[in-house]
A and B are shown apart, each in its own frame.
Chain A
């Protein structure tokens, strides 16, 4: 029973191969707010499912090293796929799938669900922001592909700022909650495990760099577009700042 629930959970908190369902689900929704909300809600749903079997990590303790390794491998897989993604929506989705692998990693060590929730949120929130902004791009340009028409920052500075901040948050840049989550997660395990995550951090940085390069550099060649509204970007800013404060506070509270 426990195992069945765990497998069900892999469909919502993405872990390969169950993550295929998660990605198909999110991709099937219309771009923008719908996708944003989905990536916020679905992992929490999955965590609820896991909450139903709190003993599962202890029961499956024999499989722990394999499980943790599998989580790391799943994260690596999605990070590599994100490297070649040119579409902002697809990139965010894949980076989220990669980052949520940490949740599984920490779950195997028996962390309480509240901690897992915070971990999941620290990736979901920036991913939701990024997907929302990707929806805005699709509305205006037909597609959220970057790098086609040059630096978006010239015509949509506010949207680009939001995307850059969300991208930084997604790739566990210090000060954003994902970084503290990662730190917490890795500190709790043996150093050898932490080694497995180093190439992952490198890949995340590289993926972020490629996205930013396409967003920020180059002369804009496309049609003229209107930027995202000031109110929207202010709300996004508040959201990210709020998550920052929460992350700083919560990581202090966790021991």
Chain B
């Protein structure tokens, strides 16, 4: 049983292939909405959903009853559904004559309440159903019962399924659940990111080596009866272990790939997280404690193998695939009875008898019981199917029932096959019908822009919002209030940057998840006052560290516990007041600036010098207790040179103070090691400093791209607001999900400030003028942030605003406040807080504030739920239209984009992000348990990067039920993203065709594409079934309403 190199490599490749469909799981601190079936995006949508259902045991579409509910609410395009039925039947060759299947299928889809109208079964066939329809007894399947049973068992027990799954199904053991628990525990121990006070030892060696080391001595395993030491001694590497276990289990080599896939997809939360970790280069924890999917699989297989062995020792259950196979082959009757009883499908009246028979294990009795039971089951299944068919026929009409009864068995078989295939595919048909309805609605709502020349009247202010659906509300209200013009741009404003916040130690990537930023931006306090940490912050730090200590419960509870209770009571009873009081205690964040300009080498060098000098002074104070006033600048400079090796010999300071050689060498070592005044580190720091900032050309390029992509190249108003967005909530592991997706789950304010600083720079404006974009003298770019939970827009960098603009600031502020309150008034009723508030914007705004601060609130805001549309085009298409906050709005003017480069950027960036968000919501709502993460109420944070349900479970992926369901019914309506692009048809096609990824998405049906052709009388072309068809438009007015008209009252 020696394992060759080839075996090991093969296992490695198999794990890689098996892992591809598993979606990566980003740590929740930067929650990224992504498509759970991202690994299957190369397949068309319906196929990928079917594959995903198979792999992840999940539903891909809603229940029929829910779609019928939508139909009653008018959200389904009936005509489209009928067309799909007709297309389905036209593609079949086995439609039985004499049966009006179209009427049957229509009735089934729209009137039948059960999820599955006609159930199948192991024994259902045309002859049996025919007999049951006539009321006769179904023929007993007793002659060649054994082969029939073997066939049934072969269908249910494939060699690619894990062995313990078969054992659980045949013997009622709980090996699967126990295995999941043990693996979860092992993963929690290894992957913890600072949540537990005692960390697992030896993690640097890797997941499998560290686990192996512990498992050999784990008393808990021993108590369970798991003897792991011998198994672990067989192989050194993880791949070797996997191959060894597979061989010992007797799994045939052709089935290895499928087996491995099943094992990995069983816990797709953990597997997804490990996959993310493997590919994240800059992830600190992955660098320190490496782990791969091969390790994970090895741990799982070793534990599974040990559990099987233990079961075999104690209960006599099979311990390998070959044993299971021989049981299925030699004793099919016993296996069939076991399959029925422990699989939960046994007929209730027979349950006790079957249980008794199996317990007594007398072969003759078992054989007889199996025959009797099979006959009873055949009878029952065929009767049930016949009854369903009859009920269906009765619903269709009198003639249908007669037609049904006149069918012969072979035709009944055909009928059953057609009905079964239709029911499998029905979900997709409903989805398409629902999308058709929404497309019709969109086409009816948008109006062609006013054809007069773009007015030269200067708006009071222009605002660039993120394309997020929540901005739509704010934009609509703002535009209705006054002379404001709004645009939609990706939340990171087209500037991917790494952001180092003041006081934080690590860099945040503020750009879409698929990009890696090349530039680093630092936040520097304007005062540059390196003061001491204020007392309150220090106290708080100490208090929270106390919580993690082991001894503190015995010592500190009486003394300190009361302090914590203040927080408990305050947060629960009076959240707003408590937070305001707390804020007063904390130090105010100082006024800061962004370091945006590239440093030249001299500047970088002088920065490093300054930092190193400060370090040396501090070192002198700490290590040698020499205060600053005893040391001259020259001494410091000299010490630095000596530490870096540029100068030799004892330093001036040492000579003056008479330090011994040894003491001085010690000190220098400390400087190099602890305080990092070292040549290698210096060059590293120079390299890092080189990343800081943007060159002037880069700045001009980003500003140009941002302005042109939204179509704003002239007629700038006095204020151009760059509004980023963020959310605010307490005690919410999903808070990143509510933040800006385009900024990788962060807040876009630094990007807004960066773009504002760049666009306000005179040098940049000069170069823009050369390119034809003339920004007037008195235009000022102002960054702002929109808090989507409270709907408040806060302006930033106000201290930089030139004096003359201050006069207009009041008007701007009041306009923004009014828009905030009106947005809140529109949003609050949907959160179920009482509809009388809709009339009172002030109360709604106060309520929104409370939502943001209440730590018991499981739903601070609806976030991106209910998103349906993505509109890429000019604002005049949708000005004044109430899109109910369901649309991503990206401003785009095709006339400024002759080569299509800007459209390319939009399609690869914002559109893909929109698709990810849409599909994340889609799958989380159709299956809240497998694709979604279940109820938030049962969530517990795991290791600070994910949540589990209960105290131990697989990591939960996707969105919680509170985000997508309301009162148990779906709140988010699952349809694919309907993307409307305003551009000439051929131009759009060509642009899409140039980008392989977008082409695949559009062709595969992951995004529904509509093209509004401005040069073809604004006809809307829909991509359906591989071709573009023109959508008939409803008779909507074709003139845009003039601006400043009061909003249409929304019901």
Contact = CB atoms under 8 A, between A and B. Distances in A.
Within the complex, are A and B direct neighbours (CB within 8 Å)? Answer: yes
A138 B347 CA distance: 11
Nearest to B113: A224
B348 A145 contact: yes
A149 B349 contact: no
A190 B346 CA distance: 49
Contact of A149 (B344, B352, B355): B344
A8 B355 CA distance: 33
B344 A143 contact: no
A55 to B, nearest CB: 43
Interface string B340-352: 0000101111111
Contacts of A221: 344
B692 to A, nearest CB: 56
For the residues of B in contact with A, the DSSP-based class is helix
B348 A148 contact: yes
A142 B347 contact: yes
A145 B344 contact: no
A141 interface: yes
Size bracket of the A interface? 10 to 19
A86 B355 contact: yes
Interface string A7-35: 00000000000000000000000000000
Pick the most buried of B344, B347, B351: most chain A CB atoms within 10 A of its CB: B351
A141 B348 contact: yes
B348 to A, nearest CB: 3
B354 to A, nearest CB: 10
Most chain A CB atoms below 10 A, which of B346, B348, B352 = B348
A96 interface: no
Contacts of A222: 348
Contacts of A86: 351-352, 355
A5 B790 CA distance: 83
A153 interface: no
Contacts of B352: 86-87, 90, 143, 145
A102 interface: no
Contacts of A149: 344, 348
Given A148-B344, A149-B344, A221-B344, A143 B355 contact: no
A194 to B, nearest CB: 33
Interface string A117-144: 0000000000000000000001001111
Nearest to A87: B352
A179 B351 CA distance: 33
A47 B292 CA distance: 72
Among A86, A143, A144, A149, max chain B CB count under 10 A is at A143
Contacts of A143: 347-352
A160 B349 CA distance: 19
A51 B352 CA distance: 38
B344 to A, nearest CB: 5
B929 to A, nearest CB: 10
Contacts of A87: 351-352
A143 B356 CA distance: 14
A170 to B, nearest CB: 20
A46 to B, nearest CB: 27
Nearest to B384: A223
B245 to A, nearest CB: 32
Contacts of A141: 348-349
Interface string A86-107: 1100100000000000000000
Contacts of A148: 344, 346, 348, 351
Contacts of B355: 86
Interface in B329-368: 344, 346-352, 355
A221 B346 CA distance: 12
Q: Which of A87, A141, A148, A149 has the most CB of B within 10 A?
A: A148
B71 to A, nearest CB: 22
Nearest to A138: B349
Nearest to B380: A142
Contact of A144 (B346, B347, B348, B350): B348
A222 B350 CA distance: 15
A141 B350 CA distance: 11
B235 to A, nearest CB: 40
Interface in B170-192: none
Nearest to A218: B344
Nearest to A137: B348
A159 to B, nearest CB: 14
Contacts of A142: 347-350
A142 B351 CA distance: 10
A86 B354 CA distance: 12
Contacts of A138: 349
A145 B348 CA distance: 6
A222 B348 CA distance: 10
B382 to A, nearest CB: 15
A43 to B, nearest CB: 24
B846 to A, nearest CB: 41
Interface string B752-795: 00000000000000000000000000000000000000000000
Contacts of B349: 138, 141-143
A160 to B, nearest CB: 16
Contacts of A145: 348, 351-352
B353 to A, nearest CB: 9
A250 B816 CA distance: 75
Interface in A57-103: 86-87, 90
B383 to A, nearest CB: 12
A150 to B, nearest CB: 8
Nearest to B347: A142
Nearest to A90: B352
A86 B352 CA distance: 8
A99 B766 CA distance: 96
Interface of B: 344, 346-352, 355
Q: Which 4 A-B pairs have the closest CB atoms?
A: A143-B348, A142-B349, A145-B351, A143-B349
12 contacts: A86-B351, A138-B349, A141-B349, A142-B348, A142-B349, A142-B350, A143-B349, A143-B352, A148-B346, A149-B344, A221-B344, A222-B348
Given A86-B352, A143-B348, A145-B351, 12 more contacts: A86-B355, A90-B352, A138-B349, A141-B348, A142-B347, A142-B349, A143-B350, A143-B351, A143-B352, A148-B348, A149-B344, A222-B348
